[in-house]
Amino acid sequence: MKALICKNGKIETVEKTVPVIEKNTDAIIKVTLSSICTSDLHIIHGFVPLAKDGVVLGHEFAGEVVETGDGVKDFKKGDRVSVNCETFCGVCGFCKKGFVNNCINGGWELGCKIDGCQAEYVRVPYADNGLTKLPDNVSYENALFVGDILSSGYWGAELCEITKGDTIAVIGAGPVGLCAMQCAKILGAGKVIAVDIDKNRLELAQKLGFADFISEPENCEESIKEITKYGADAVIEAAGGENTFELAYKIARPNAVVALVAMYEKNQILPLPEMYGKNLIFKTGGVDAVHCKELVKLIAEGKITTDFLITHRFSFDNIKDAYKLFEEKSENCLKVAVEY
Ligand SMILES: [Zn+2]
Ligand SMILES: [Zn+2]
């Protein structure tokens, strides 16, 4: 089968053997649609020490079940599924609390420690936990982002502990930020303020009805104070830019949650003496993608959509061009869909 690997910081397409069931809880999925995530770029750039050299990249995809191990109870050959970016056992102490990102038997494995989805077939461990069945009215396209960026956006909104009517600022109107805006509304936010350096993305956030107000970072502190006197009730930092961490705690009101869902490439400074008394709550980290079923249901009911994210399509044979376009963010690219 055809696959895209990352070796010594470079991507290349190679021929590989089709994966087989290794444990009875595995399933083999025929990939119908996959995407490229910024985390894939982080691996290529060497910022993910856990990543195995030569691994097949990719962890954001949908496809069809072609084979299941004896221990897989909820899925069978022919099922249409979206796949969770995280691998988790479901029974360890962390999994039982819903902290699946820290599963002692899993975590971010696909496309990092084990072969991922930028290939014709992929082996998914703990398939009963990692797969979500798609109802007939949800297409592969509709469900492409469920297991990763939509989950990340939902998680960011969930971290904010939103109470009805809250004003939520979202820094970064990229794919995760746009998902977070929608999810914040679903969880009860009254107003959403989108912050980005990219005017096109801000306009899109407003046009789609996800953001009630938009602001560029420079005048963000003032404009937020005009909208809400004391600062945002919670801030979702989904940009991971040079100064976006600083901006996040500055635009938060005292006692707000600052949810950091961005993946930084550099250390960030937390000036505790300056912010003493502001009593902020910082929440950090990588998504616990445990709401895939609810997210698919919300898509099926038409309450949430990620269709607008697919701005470009490529066949697998041109996947290197897809990486180039995605990395350069040229042609207002939000996300690419790679077809197999
Ligand atoms: Zn990802
Ligand atoms: Zn676990």
- Please give the CATH architecture assigned to the domain spanning 2-145+306-339: Alpha-Beta Complex (3.90)
Listed in order, the ranges of the chain carrying CATH 3.90.180.10 are: 2-145+306-339
Ligand nearest to the CA of 34: 1
**CB atoms < 10 A from the CB of 282, how many?**
16
User: Which tokens hold the place of 40?
Assistant: 């894939």
Three-state SS for 133-200 is ECCCCCCHHHHCCHHHHHHHHHHHHHHCCCCCCCEEEEECCCHHHHHHHHHHHHCCCCEEEEECCCHH
State the pLDDT at residue 265: 79
Ligand 2 centre to CA of 91 (Å) is 5
Listed in order, the ranges of the chain carrying CATH 3.40.50.720 are: 153-284
Ligand 2 centre to CA of 89 (Å) is 4
Ligand 2 centre to CA of 94 (Å) is 6
Q: How far is CA 113 from CA 16, 118, 169, 291, in A?
A: 17, 14, 34, 23
**Which residues of the chain are under the pLDDT cut of 70?**
none
Residue 185 burial class via C-beta count within 10 angstroms: exposed 0-12, middle 13-18, buried 19 and up? buried
Ligand nearest to the CA of 92: 2
Ligand 2 centre to CA of 23 (Å) is 16
State the pLDDT at residue 209: 97
Ligand 2 centre to CA of 87 (Å) is 8
**Domain 153-284 class in CATH:** alpha beta
Ligand 2 centre to CA of 150 (Å) is 21
Bridge partners of residue 4, in order along the sequence: 13
Contact 67, 77 (CB under 8 A): yes
Ligand nearest to the CA of 97: 2
Collapse the DSSP code of 273 into the 3-class scheme (helix H, G, I; strand E, B; otherwise coil) and give the result.
helix
Ligand 1 centre to CA of 277 (Å) is 35
Over residues 145-202, the pLDDT tens digits come to 999 999 999 999 999 999 999 999 999 999 999 999 999 999 999 999 999 999 999 9
Residue type for 167, please?
Answer: T
Q: Distance between CA 289 and CA 311 in Å, rounded?
A: 24
Ligand 1 centre to CA of 155 (Å) is 13
What burial letters (b/e) apply to 113-148, b meaning 16+ CB within 10 Å? bbbbbbbbbbbbbbbebbbbbbeeebebbbbbbbbb
Residue 307 burial class via C-beta count within 10 angstroms: exposed 0-12, middle 13-18, buried 19 and up? exposed
State the pLDDT at residue 266: 87
Ligand nearest to the CA of 107: 2
Contact 123, 114 (CB under 8 A): yes
Q: Distance between CA 331 and CA 48 in Å, rounded?
A: 28
Q: Distance between CA 226 and CA 284 in Å, rounded?
A: 28
Pure H helices in the chain: 38-44, 93-96, 127-130, 140-143, 151-159, 175-186, 199-207, 220-227, 244-251, 272-275, 292-300, 319-328
Ligand 2 centre to CA of 1 (Å) is 31
State the pLDDT at residue 264: 86
State the pLDDT at residue 285: 77
Ligand 2 centre to CA of 133 (Å) is 21
Ligand 2 centre to CA of 95 (Å) is 4
Over residues 94-115, the pLDDT tens digits come to 999 999 999 999 999 999 999 9
